[in-house]
Amino acid sequence: MKKIKICLPSYKDLISLWPDVANWSQDWAFWPIEEVLKSLQSEGCFVAIATENDQVLGFSFWKYVAGEGELLFVFVPQAGRGRGIARQMLEFSLSHLKSVGVDLVFLEVRFSNLAAIRLYEALGFNLLSTRKQYYKDGEDALVYSRELA
């Protein structure tokens, strides 16, 4: 049975998980664990981690301030995709954000990440704008937002 939980600063699951992230995807090598933990020390940051039988299935990293939230990243390794893990983490996180007074949430996604775009749109996110050549490789980012009513 999948379980989602909120992680607070320097949470041991996140620390122990981080070395494996580079093996899951090269996209995460840009963000050292020290920087993630430093960000988590800030007020208004949290990580949602999905687990099953004490194994981490994925995680999402969020930041919020003054009634607005931002999804910094969500990650489920390739082997775990298509099982609804990302959806569960996002629904859980959006509920948490609403409970702490967040009214509006933003995220950025690669133009080519069609599976993520479909998920975000299914969860009620609306396309706000495009950031041209946002990523290092020159790919555009789509900016989405969603009100938490």
Q: Catalytic positions, please?
A: 108, 120
Rounded CA Rg of the chain? 15
H or E element at residue 41? none
Smallest CA-to-CA distance from 144 within 104, 101, 87 is with 104
Q: What are phi and psi of 127, to 5 degrees?
A: -65, 130
Question: Which amino acid is residue 48, in one-letter code?
Answer: A
Distance CA 60, CA 107 (A): 12
User: CA-CA distance, 133 to 108, in Å (whole number)?
Assistant: 13
